[in-house]
């Protein structure tokens, strides 16, 4: 249902900032405050109760008690930090669809806003996320997607390089062609080179720089 709502919003607006709202959302600050109190008290059972089902499967209640005992001081410091008046809670959601694509959403003012989604990469928060976005756009052979995941400097350099190649190919009939059997090399103004290869009587671009 959430995916459908997001898809409709994206299709209608064509923007990553489209909002997907839920009828009623719990305040994440309440969960943060509760964890802060439990951490201050060293209440392992309360902390265990707040864990997700998958997290509870990964760590038993006894494991959590051992961690709380060993790291009581550090947990108390975290609890004090979470209880501070200037503490800010940021909630995010990550949806993985059946086709393997993902959408990331941030909770703002009681509404979830799409920050990235499959064909529309957003800002990666970790190097792993950036690499995953690169893999996805390469798998889709998406030039536009690739440009979005590159740094501004690299994107500008690639686009400038391609613009130079496009400009140099404006009048291809005037360019010098060096033939060698079924291969041809063309020097393009601006320092570019294009290599062609003939297969079954058809010339195709084999490489360019």
Span 176-203, pLDDT tens digits: 889 999 999 988 888 888 898 999 889 9
- Beta carbons of 57 and 93 less than 8 angstroms apart: no
Q: Which helix (H) or strand (E) holds 134?
A: helix 127-139
Beta bridge partners of 95: 103
The per-residue pLDDT for range 22-78, each reduced to its tens digit, is 455 666 777 778 888 888 888 989 889 988 888 888 888 998 888 888 888 888 887
Q: pTM here?
A: 0.41
- Beta carbons of 50 and 38 less than 8 angstroms apart: yes
């Amino acid at each position: 249902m959430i995916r459908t709502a997001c898809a409709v919003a994206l299709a209608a607006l064509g923007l990553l900032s489209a909002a997907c709202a839920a009828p009623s959302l719990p305040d994440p600050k309440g969960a943060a405050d509760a964890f802060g109190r439990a951490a201050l008290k060293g209440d392992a059972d309360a902390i265990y109760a707040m864990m997700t089902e998958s997290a509870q499967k990964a760590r038993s209640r006894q494991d959590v008690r051992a961690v709380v005992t060993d790291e009581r001081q550090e947990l108390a410091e975290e609890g004090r930090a979470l209880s501070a008046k200037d503490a800010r809670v940021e909630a995010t959601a990550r949806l993985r669809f059946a086709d393997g694509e993902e959408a990331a959403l941030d909770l703002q003012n009681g509404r979830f806003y799409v920050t990235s989604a499959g064909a529309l990469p957003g800002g990666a928060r970790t190097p792993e996320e950036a690499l995953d976005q690169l893999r996805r756009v390469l798998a889709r052979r998406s030039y536009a997607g690739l440009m979005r995941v590159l740094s501004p400097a690299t994107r500008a350099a690639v686009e400038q390089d391609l613009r130079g190649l496009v400009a140099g190919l404006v009048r291809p009939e005037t360019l010098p062609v060096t033939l060698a059997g079924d291969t041809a090399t063309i020097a393009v103004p601006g320092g570019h080179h294009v290599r062609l290869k003939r297969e079954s009587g058809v010339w195709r671009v084999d490489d360019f720089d």
